[in-house]
Amino acid sequence: MKDNKFTVNEKGYYGEFGGAFIPELLYPNVEELRKNYLGIINEPTFQKELNSLLQDYVGRPSPLYFAKRMSEHYKTNVFLKREDLNHTGAHKINNTLGQILLAKRLGKTRIIAETGAGQHGVATATVCALMNMECVVYMGEVDIKRQAPNVARMKLLGAKVVPALSGSKTLKDATNEAIRDWINHPLDTYYIIGSVVGPHPYPDMVARFQAVISAEIKIQLAEKTGRDYPDYVVACVGGGSNAAGAFYHFMNDKRVQLIAVEAAGKGIHSGHSAATSVLGRPGIIHGSKTLLMQTEDGQITEPYSLSAGLDYPGVGPIHAHLHKTGRARFASVTDEQALKAAFLLCRLEGIIPALESAHALAELENLKAKEQEVLVLNLSGRGDKDMETYISKLAIGD
Ligand SMILES: *Cc1c(COP(=O)(O)O)cnc(C)c1O
């Protein structure tokens, strides 16, 4: 991927977005990571250990499944990249596994993370158990109450869940606590971030760990269709890690249309949404310059989506750049449309998707792909965690 204007430059920017806007006290931690991450990730022994765990622990490669009935329904060729079949039920483990191996190489013994809905916390607690590392997960007090099953999972896996008691007691407050912890423990502690967000080098590093998704798609698609690229790749975007991974090896291939799907919640202009590419303006969140939902005077707007994983007020800088350059088309899908698409997949293919992934599925209604075209949809996770929501809304799909 040489000369790729969609990958990060030496300064940590994608076009005008990215960078590392961090407190002075955090500089040594981030600088240690920036100096070392590429060297470590590219070591053959690192690659060997990562690939072996991706295969035997995560269950990769995840299948690329030709969804016959979905294809008939939409009169095109739909392939589902089955990240839902990964250990722990989503793509997040690709990243946490990569980062914990990196932390080990850096000589760290203690892992911290922040989590909103708890899914990144669970993926982090999982790899900490695997690697015998101490694990502290910061979580807003409000989220701890809302997400009791994931809190229980983290504890079962041996993690300590610390409530963030300040502000709105949700994700951004948990992030502040995690940063404070990292400043206080610069030597032994590594901070695992869960999406393509945060200061450079996190967005690039996370995108590289998730790029296994599109690397596999190329091989699998060549086997199944004789062509190693599709006409479309469709993925949902919260922070944007599963989309970055699914797009990664196609970013320079203009034959491939990249479709990023955000959560419109109750409607883009309802005041209850997370459609950052439409509503956002450039600003700084979690240490990087990107598109951000904010008020006139720069206060971050509370995002909303029925799906916890898409409920984020920004997007990673890579997506801000893909949006700005027009390389990816950004769409948004409401709660209702996502639910309908989730129920459709259940009935047509016998697969219960995560509510996040259902946003990508809903975009198939609008896409109008042609009969001979090939579309790959990244099914980022499974629906077990969303059963309560599905049950409460089931009347809609009946
Ligand atoms: C967390 C999550 C997402 C959103 O995160 P990205 O970084 O945008 O991929 C999407 N789908 C599932 C299943 C998730 O768990």
359 Cβ inside 6 Å of ligand 1: no
Residues 254-311: tens digit of each pLDDT: 999 999 999 999 999 999 999 999 999 999 999 999 999 999 999 998 899 999 899 8
What is the pLDDT, as a whole number, of residue 396? Answer: 54
Tokens linked to 329:
């088309």
76 Cβ inside 6 Å of ligand 1: no
333 Cβ inside 6 Å of ligand 1: no
Distance (angstroms) between ligand 1 centre and the Cα of 309 equals 5
What is the pLDDT, as a whole number, of residue 2? Answer: 43
**Cα Rg of the chain (Å, integer):** 20
pLDDT at residue 81 tops 60: yes
pLDDT band at 395 (very low <50, low <70, confident <90, very high): low
CA dihedral 346, 351, 352, 353 (to 10 degrees): -110
Distance (angstroms) between ligand 1 centre and the Cα of 92 equals 7
Cβ neighbors of 223 (< 8 A, separation 6 or more) are none
pLDDT at residue 320 tops 80: yes
What is the pLDDT, as a whole number, of residue 337? Answer: 98
Q: Which of 380, 384, 389 to mutate to test the pocket of ligand 1 (most atoms within 8 A of CB)?
A: 380
Q: Which one has a higher pLDDT value, 398 or 57?
A: 57
> Ligand 1 atom closest to Cα of 243?
9
Which segments of 106-211 does DSSP mark as H helices, in order? 119-131, 141-146, 148-156, 171-184, 202-210
pTM of the predicted model over 0.75: yes
Distance CA 329, CA 306 (A): 22
What is the pLDDT, as a whole number, of residue 3? Answer: 44
Q: Which of 310, 312, 333, 355 to mutate to test the pocket of ligand 1 (most atoms within 8 A of CB)?
A: 310
238 Cβ inside 6 Å of ligand 1: yes
Q: Which one has a higher pLDDT value, 395 or 270?
A: 270
Q: Which of 356, 379, 385, 389 to mutate to test the pocket of ligand 1 (most atoms within 8 A of CB)?
A: 356
List the catalytic residues: 92, 114, 380
pLDDT at residue 397 tops 70: no
195 Cβ inside 6 Å of ligand 1: yes
pLDDT at residue 5 tops 90: no
Residues 224-237: tens digit of each pLDDT: 999 999 999 999 99
Q: Kindly report the protein residue whose alpha carbon is nearest to atom 13 of ligand 1.
A: 381
For Cα atoms 23, 186, 99, give the angle at the middle one, nearest 5 degrees: 95
Residues 174-214: tens digit of each pLDDT: 999 999 999 999 999 999 999 999 999 999 999 999 999 99
Distance (angstroms) between ligand 1 centre and the Cα of 380 equals 6
Listed range (34-38, 157-161, 314-318, 390-394) with the worst mean pLDDT: 390-394
- The stretch 320-325 carries a mean pLDDT of 98
Which residue, among 396, 219, 235, has the nearest Cα to 315 in the 3D structure?
A: 235
Distance (angstroms) between ligand 1 centre and the Cα of 25 equals 30
- The stretch 379-383 carries a mean pLDDT of 97
What is the pLDDT, as a whole number, of residue 330? Answer: 98
What is the pLDDT, as a whole number, of residue 1? Answer: 41
For residue 255, the tally of other CB atoms under 10 A from its CB is 9
pLDDT at residue 4 tops 70: no
pLDDT band at 168 (very low <50, low <70, confident <90, very high): confident
- Express as a percent the part of the chain with pLDDT over 90: 92
Distance (angstroms) between ligand 1 centre and the Cα of 90 equals 8
Q: Kindly report the protein residue whose alpha carbon is nearest to atom 1 of ligand 1.
A: 309
Question: What does the mean pLDDT of the chain come to?
Answer: 95
Q: Kindly report the protein residue whose alpha carbon is nearest to atom 2 of ligand 1.
A: 309
Q: Which one has a higher pLDDT value, 247 or 309?
A: 247
What is the pLDDT, as a whole number, of residue 165? Answer: 95
Distance (angstroms) between ligand 1 centre and the Cα of 8 equals 21
Q: Which of 86, 91, 323 to mutate to test the pocket of ligand 1 (most atoms within 8 A of CB)?
A: 91
Distance (angstroms) between ligand 1 centre and the Cα of 180 equals 25
Q: Which one has a higher pLDDT value, 167 or 73?
A: 73
What is the pLDDT, as a whole number, of residue 302? Answer: 87
241 Cβ inside 6 Å of ligand 1: yes
What is the pLDDT, as a whole number, of residue 98? Answer: 98
Q: How far is CA 356 from CA 138, 189, 315, 325, in A?
A: 22, 31, 15, 25
237 Cβ inside 6 Å of ligand 1: yes
pLDDT at residue 107 tops 50: yes
> Ligand 1 atom closest to Cα of 210?
9
One-letter amino acid at 9 equals: N
Pairing, β 189-191 against β 110-115: parallel
